[in-house]
């Protein structure tokens, strides 16, 4: 089981990963987007870090909802509203629990994905973050159903997310700023799909 402190520690780890990879993510976004994805994600999680002390005593649903609201208010472009929605929907689903297991995590992720789909009016195959999120969820559900432990479930999710990132390269972008490029977006991996894979890997590394 994962308690509130561990959730906050993971969020802080996510902030470090976004800071470490902000230039890489921004370079990806320079090619097919606004050129600010990495900078925005690092800024958003830095704001979450400022609230870490206050978050520690809250229930997990509250921690995730507060994180989501912070990302929506502090992160520019499309990534703030989309990631923010994902965290808020996950928090609403998990609710007032102070400990969560894999069922809770997967339920929260599924709610987050549905939130992203609704907010972005998007689905898989459109060169977005969903192209790593959805395969990751499916892989983790399958692994869990087979009786695997937490680490193995998360590792399966990371592998699927990373494969999903690769799969965005030949896609033509149809959503967001990248859609303006049309066929010229082919050959480039999606920044949002990439950042999700980084975040999921950070969760995996915590176990």
Domains of the chain, residue spans: 2-205
184 contacts: CB under 8 Å, gap ≥ 6: none
Q: What's the sign of the alpha-carbon dihedral 136, 137, 143, 149?
A: positive
pLDDT tens digits, one per residue of 78-136: 888 999 999 999 999 999 999 999 999 999 999 999 999 999 999 999 899 999 999 99
Q: Which pLDDT value is given to residue 186? A: 66
The percent of residues above 70 in pLDDT, for the chain, comes to: 91
- We find that the CATH architecture of domain 2-205 is Alpha Horseshoe (1.25)
């Amino acid at each position: 089981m994962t308690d509130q402190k561990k959730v906050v520690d993971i969020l802080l780890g996510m902030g470090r990963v976004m800071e470490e990879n902000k230039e890489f993510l921004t370079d990806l976004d320079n090619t097919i987007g606004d050129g600010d994805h990495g900078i925005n994600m690092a800024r958003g999680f830095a704001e979450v870090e400022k609230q870490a002390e206050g978050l520690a005593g809250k229930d997990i649903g509250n921690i995730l909802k507060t994180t989501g609201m912070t990302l929506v208010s502090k992160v520019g472009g499309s990534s703030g509203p989309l990631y923010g929605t994902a965290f808020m929907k996950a928090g609403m689903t998990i609710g007032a629990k102070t400990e969560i297991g894999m069922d809770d995590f997967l339920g929260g992720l599924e709610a987050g994905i549905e939130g992203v789909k609704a907010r972005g009016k998007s689905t898989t195959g459109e060169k977005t973050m969903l192209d790593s999120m959805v395969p990751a969820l499916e892989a983790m559900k399958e692994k869990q159903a087979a009786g695997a432990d937490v680490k193995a479930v998360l590792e399966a999710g990371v592998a699927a997310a990373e494969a999903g990132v690769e799969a965005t390269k030949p896609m033509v972008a149809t959503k967001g700023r990248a859609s303006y490029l049309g066929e010229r977006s082919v050959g480039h991996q999606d920044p949002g799909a990439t950042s999700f894979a980084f975040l999921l890997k950070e969760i995996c590394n915590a176990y």
